[in-house]
Amino acid sequence: SLQDQFDNLEKHTQWGIDVLEKYIKFVKERTEIELSYAKQLRNLSKKYQPKKNSKEEEEYRYTSTRAFLATLNEINDYAGQHEVISENMTSLITGELTRYVQELKQERKSHFHDGRKAQQHIETCWKQLEASKRRFERDCKEADRAQQYFEKMDADINVTKADVEKARQQAQLRHQMAEDSKAEYSSTLQKFNSEQHEHYYTHIPNIFQKIQEMEERRIVRIGESMKTFAEVDRQVIPIIGKCLDEITKAAESVDHKSDSQMVIEAFKSGFEPPGDVEFEDFTQPMKRTVSESSLSNSRGDGKSEPKFGSKSKGKLWPFIKKNKLMSLLTSPHQPPPPPPASASPSAVPNGPQSPKQQKEPLSHRFNEFMTSKPKIHCFRSLKRGGAGPEDFSNLPPEQRRKKLQQKVDELNRDIQKEMDQRDALTKMKDVYIKNPQMGDAASVDHRLAELGQNIEKLRLEVQKFEGWLAEVEGRLPARTEQPRRQSGVYETQNPSGVNSCAQDRESPDGSYTEEQSQETEMKVPATDFDDEFDDEEPLPTIGTCKALYTFEGQNEGTISVAEGEMLYVIEEDKGDGWTRIRRNEDEEGYVPTSYVEVYLDKNAK
């Protein structure tokens, strides 16, 4: 029936709206994914960006790290394009379709309302026709009964003439009523047929046509939205392609030769390699002394330049102070004391002193020092604190030259800033002189004087650093000769000063390890020596240990421990009975291996 068709159309159009809303939800979730992806990409790029004013920022001078930085920036732009996709899909698809769905629902409601109205009208016309038909049928039946009653009365001779006349009039009345009903029924029927024709051939087809057009517009609209969905993605492909091209370009700009050269320039020290080690003849009975040839093959007259910037070919590494170096680089010369017989912490505090040991050749000690880089960290215990010297003399020559050049450039920039300020104030003063109403010209004189003094101070600083720079580059004679000669005179005139160093030449058992003349020859200014190792990192720990007994550790190179104390192990026992341990960053030394229980880390290098 027609009503069934309306029901089917109503269900189908509602399904179409549901499909449209489902597609809107799909696009909305896609935009959320794009935004989330873009946010994650931006966070990723930000996470790996170098932190300002940090060591990481300095690392980005290499071509490989600059390429990585360019990749991070392009990833940020790449994320921006995904944000564009989300914005365009929201505005061109989600927003438009949401408004269209609301309009579609209103239009659909209107069409089905018109259909129901037309259906109700034709049903009303049909009811009127049925009522007219029943009335006509009833009047015809009553007219027939009235006619039959008249004929019966007229044939009966016993009925009076008046009754017959009355029956005749009644029959005529009923016949007239039947004729009127017939006319009314005929008129109602014609009207219904006209309304029905109009309903089925005009009203309902028009409504169906409107519903069909509405559904077709919905189908076209969802198709266009799908096309827009693809176009929004396609529009950003060229920009994404450019981002990828820039990443490729950055990758192609990586230059391994340039990076290697930067590393060489950054860490070039300017020191010359050591000379050949001379043969030490032990076949002749003689007093064992440390051979100077183990440090250099061309020491000249035995004098050593104390400054790092010196060009002397005979100098190897300018930080050797033998009396301290030997005691720090090697374990104590005495054998370790045996563990106490009792559990009392004070049973054997230090153990018996051993007889004087035959000292090892300096070449052996120095080679051990040079081949075991982590041992340099033991000099942390000699730190005196504070910054390095102003002339950077604690640095190797090449590094010192770079630092001095940076300082000169920095001072020149400061001078330029001060001069710019002075020029600006001079112009302001000229304006005040020409136009007194604008300001007092004398008010800037004090500031101009200050700027002049600042510029003069900065120029003196520049001259000072340029002098040091010229000294390093060999343009001026080394200025360290006079202080060195004065130091030599001072030591000659003050033998007590030499004697004060006697303790430095004692091993843990109290024996002297070097001659006094060697101490004088090898003496290096302590400040230069200390600062050389200011930036060294501590030795890595290779395990932990627990002190079984108390050890006083009063001799040089040893460290005191308390019974039960937990400490870090930084060097195993090498067969001499001593283990090297650390309490904290600045406290480390040797303890007898038998005094501690060692727990080594299997994964330690």
pLDDT in tens, 198-211: 999 999 999 999 99
Mean pLDDT score of the chain:
76
Q: Check whether 416 has a pLDDT greater than 60.
A: yes
Residue with tokens 């843990």, as numbered in its chain? 508
Residue with tokens 């799908």, as numbered in its chain? 226
Residue-level pLDDT at 431: 85
Q: Which of 216, 239, 263 is the last residue in one of the domains? A: 263
Residue-level pLDDT at 28: 96
In a domain, 528, yes or no: no
- Phi, psi of 421, deg, nearest 5: -65, -40
DSSP state letter for 503: G
Tell me what percent of the residues of the chain surpass a pLDDT of 90.
Answer: 38
Does 594 lie in the same domain as 469? no
Q: Check whether 25 has a pLDDT greater than 60.
A: yes
Scored b (16 or more CB within 10 A) or e, 484-496 reads: beeeeeeeeeeee
Residue-level pLDDT at 338: 72
Query: Residue 425: which domain range?
Result: 397-473
Q: Check whether 146 has a pLDDT greater than 50.
A: yes
How large is the average pLDDT for residues 502-522?
A: 38
| DSSP element (H, E) containing 124 | helix 95-155
Residue-level pLDDT at 331: 54
In a domain, 553, yes or no: yes
Residue-level pLDDT at 252: 94
pLDDT digits (tens, 9 = 90+) for 340-386: 654 433 333 444 333 333 444 444 444 444 444 433 333 333 333 34
In a domain, 421, yes or no: yes
Query: Which band of pLDDT confidence, cut at 50, 70 and 90, is reported for residue 474?
Result: confident
Tokens of 371: 């081949």
Contacts of 545 (CB under 8 A, 6+ apart): 566, 567, 568, 569, 579, 581, 596, 597, 598, 599
Does 592 lie in the same domain as 451? no
Q: What's the predicted TM-score (pTM) here?
A: 0.47
Question: Partners of 567 in the beta sheet?
Answer: 545
DSSP state letter for 558: B
**Separation between Cα atoms, residue 567 and residue 579, nearest integer Å:** 11
In a domain, 58, yes or no: yes
**Separation between Cα atoms, residue 508 and residue 570, nearest integer Å:** 20
Residue of 537, 536, 539, 533 lying closest to 581 (CA atoms): 539
Residue with tokens 């076209």, as numbered in its chain? 220
Query: Which band of pLDDT confidence, cut at 50, 70 and 90, is reported for residue 157?
Result: confident
Residue-level pLDDT at 183: 92
Residue with tokens 């049903």, as numbered in its chain? 123
What's the angle, vertex CA 523, arms to CA 507 and CA 277, rounded to 5?
A: 80
Higher pLDDT, 480 or 393: 393
In a domain, 97, yes or no: yes
Q: Check whether 595 has a pLDDT greater than 70.
A: yes
| DSSP element (H, E) containing 132 | helix 95-155
Helix 95-155 × helix 161-198 angle, to 10°: 160
Residue-level pLDDT at 235: 94
Q: Give CA torsion, residues 192, 193, 194, 198, to 10 deg.
A: 100
Q: Which of 420, 440, 473 is the last residue in one of the domains? A: 473
Does 242 lie in the same domain as 114? yes
Tokens of 398: 């090449």
How large is the average pLDDT for residues 4-26?
A: 92
- Pairing relationship of beta strands 578-584 and 566-571 according to DSSP bridges: antiparallel
Q: Check whether 219 has a pLDDT greater than 90.
A: yes
Contacts of 147 (CB under 8 A, 6+ apart): 171, 174, 175
Query: Which band of pLDDT confidence, cut at 50, 70 and 90, is reported for residue 267?
Result: confident
Does 456 lie in the same domain as 552? no
Q: Check whether 104 has a pLDDT greater than 90.
A: yes
How large is the average pLDDT for residues 418-447?
A: 85
Tokens of 181: 């009903």
- Determine the distance from the C-alpha atom of residue 405 to the mean position of all C-alpha atoms in its chain, rounded to a whole number: 34
Does 20 lie in the same domain as 159? yes
Question: Partners of 591 in the beta sheet?
Answer: 579
Greatest mean pLDDT among 147-161, 332-346, 531-545, 558-572 lies in 558-572
**Separation between Cα atoms, residue 528 and residue 537, nearest integer Å:** 18
How large is the average pLDDT for residues 460-465?
A: 89
Q: What CATH number does residue 550 fall under?
A: 2.30.30.40
Contacts of 30 (CB under 8 A, 6+ apart): 89
Greatest mean pLDDT among 301-305, 309-313, 384-388, 538-542 lies in 538-542
* Contact of 59 with 65, CB cutoff 8 Å: yes
In a domain, 376, yes or no: no
Tokens of 238: 């060229």
**Separation between Cα atoms, residue 480 and residue 471, nearest integer Å:** 10
Q: For the CA atoms of the chain, what is the radius of gyration?
A: 55
In a domain, 355, yes or no: no
Q: Which of 243, 263, 283 is the last residue in one of the domains? A: 263
Does 564 lie in the same domain as 435? no
Q: Check whether 509 has a pLDDT greater than 70.
A: no
Query: Which band of pLDDT confidence, cut at 50, 70 and 90, is reported for residue 515?
Result: very low
Residue-level pLDDT at 334: 63
Higher pLDDT, 69 or 154: 69
Residue-level pLDDT at 291: 43
Contacts of 332 (CB under 8 A, 6+ apart): 507, 508, 509, 555, 556, 557, 558, 578, 590
How many C-alpha atoms does 429 have within 13 Å on its Cβ side?
15
pLDDT digits (tens, 9 = 90+) for 541-592: 888 999 999 998 877 788 999 999 999 998 888 888 889 999 887 788 899 9
Burial of 150 (0-12, 13-18, 19+ CB in 10 A): buried
Q: Check whether 72 has a pLDDT greater than 90.
A: yes
What's the angle, vertex CA 307, arms to CA 301 and CA 309, rounded to 5?
A: 105
Residue with tokens 């240990």, as numbered in its chain? 545
Q: Check whether 407 has a pLDDT greater than 50.
A: yes
Q: What CATH number does residue 129 fall under?
A: 1.20.1270.60
In a domain, 227, yes or no: yes
Does 241 lie in the same domain as 101? yes
Does 447 lie in the same domain as 558? no
Lowest average pLDDT, out of 136-150, 213-227, 297-311, goes to: 297-311
Residue-level pLDDT at 327: 42
Does 131 lie in the same domain as 245? yes
What's the angle, vertex CA 330, arms to CA 546 and CA 380, rounded to 5?
A: 75
Contacts of 192 (CB under 8 A, 6+ apart): 125, 126, 128, 129
Does 565 lie in the same domain as 439? no
Query: Which band of pLDDT confidence, cut at 50, 70 and 90, is reported for residue 271?
Result: confident
Does 106 lie in the same domain as 207? yes
Amino acid at residue number 111? H
Does 553 lie in the same domain as 450? no
Structural domain total, the chain: 3
Higher pLDDT, 69 or 388: 69
Query: Which band of pLDDT confidence, cut at 50, 70 and 90, is reported for residue 255?
Result: very high
